[in-house]
């Protein structure tokens, strides 16, 4: 079992190394030193976002991975998830600690993420198409992972919108974290062996 685990881990490390996402330094008689590199495959040092202008980040909830949901999402759903988390984080700046990540409310139009005239100075623009975001939103509404209601008031300032009503979105991605289950050690070991055997048979 230990041999199978080591082979599986070694295979994953080699794949990441080939993608230039990490580098290994062999140390005879000891475990290799592993250095994580930048996630764009450039081979440059890892750049940890610090929240400063042009160096921000998006929260990826562990629950969407652990629950298996992420593996089934379409491109449109993934795009809308990233949009929703950026929009939630933007509004959370004015209401720190009010909600858990993945459960906040926001009201930005779907053009907001890519339009410099709607974003604050230094914001990182993401060129998502509105039609793509609409498809992702519809899918998440059907799954209950986003709710949309019409509102006449800004949820942050409580001021009335001058342009009439807007869509007020509430993220419910935190429910995936609540539903995610951690595998018992025996099942985790069995899954590692299964994956290593599968990799061996396909190579």
Question: What are the tens digits of pLDDT across the range 117-130?
Answer: 988 877 888 999 99
Please report whether residue 203 resides in a domain.
no
Tell me the pLDDT band of 170, cut-offs 50, 70 and 90: very high
Q: Per the domain annotation, does 116 fall within a domain?
A: yes
Does residue 199 form part of some domain? no
Please state, in angstroms and as integers, the Cα–Cα distance from residue 138 to each residue in 73, 121, 126, following that order. Answer: 13, 30, 20
Sequence-ordered strand ranges (E) for 22-82: 22-25, 33-36
Same domain, 114 and 143: yes
The answer to whether residues 92 and 170 belong to one domain is: yes
Q: Do 82 and 155 have their domain in common?
A: yes
| Domain co-membership, 170 together with 90 | yes
HSE of 186, CA atoms in CB hemisphere, 13 A: 0
Q: Are residues 77 and 170 located together in one domain of the fold?
A: yes
Rounded CA-CA distance 31/163 in Å is 61
| 20 is a domain residue | yes
* Euclidean distance between CA atoms 137 and 139, whole angstroms: 5
3-state percent breakdown (helix, strand, coil) of the chain, nearest 5 = 40, 15, 45
Q: What would the two tokens of residue 189 be? A: 């070991």
Tens of pLDDT, residue by residue over 43-91, are: 888 877 666 666 677 888 888 888 889 989 999 999 999 999 999 988 7
> 5-28, pLDDT tens digit by residue?
788 888 888 999 999 999 988 888
- pTM here is 0.66
- Domain assignment present for residue 36? The answer is yes
Residues 138 and 87 occupy one common structural domain: yes
Cα torsion angle, 147, 151, 156, 158, sign:
negative
Would residue 188 count as lying in a domain?
A: no
Tokens of 141: 């509404």
* Gap between the Cα atoms of 68 and 66, Å rounded: 5
Residues 82 and 135 in one domain: yes
Considering the domain architecture, whether residues 69 and 13 belong to the same structural domain is answered as no
Same domain, 110 and 173: yes
- Give yes or no: residues 109 and 17 share one domain: no
The domain in which residue 142 lies consists of 62-179
Shared domain for 21 and 75, answered yes or no, is no
The domain tally of the chain equals 2
Asked whether residue 202 is assigned to any structural domain, the reply reads no
- Taking phi first (over 0 means left), then psi (-120 to 50 degrees means alpha), and beta for anything else, what does residue 58 get? beta
The Cα–Cα gap between 4 and 2 comes to 5
Residue 162 lies in a domain: yes
The total of other beta-carbon atoms located within 10 Å of residue 85's CB is 22
In this structure, the strands spanning 166-171 and 105-106 are antiparallel
74 and 163: one domain?
yes
């Amino acid at each position: 079992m230990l041999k199978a685990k080591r082979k599986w881990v070694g295979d994953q490390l080699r794949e990441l190394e080939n993608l230039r996402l990490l580098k290994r330094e062999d140390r005879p008689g000891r475990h290799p030193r592993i250095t994580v590199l930048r996630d764009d495959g450039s081979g440059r040092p890892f750049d940890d976002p610090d929240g400063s202008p042009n160096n921000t980040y998006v929260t990826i909830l562990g629950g969407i991975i652990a629950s298996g949901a992420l593996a089934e999402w379409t491109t449109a759903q993934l795009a809308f998830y990233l949009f929703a988390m950026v929009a939630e984080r933007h509004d959370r700046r004015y209401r720190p600690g009010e909600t858990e990540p993945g459960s906040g409310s926001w009201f930005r139009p779907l053009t907001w993420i890519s339009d410099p005239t709607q974003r604050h100075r230094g914001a990182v623009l993401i060129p998502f198409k509105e039609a793509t975001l609409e498809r992702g939103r519809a899918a998440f509404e059907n799954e209950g992972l986003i709710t949309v209601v019409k509102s006449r008031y800004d949820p942050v300032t409580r001021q009335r919108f001058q342009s009439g009503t807007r869509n007020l979105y509430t993220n419910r991605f935190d429910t995936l974290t609540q539903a995610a289950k951690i595998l018992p050690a025996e099942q985790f070991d069995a899954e590692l062996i299964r994956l290593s055997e599968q990799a061996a048979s396909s190579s």
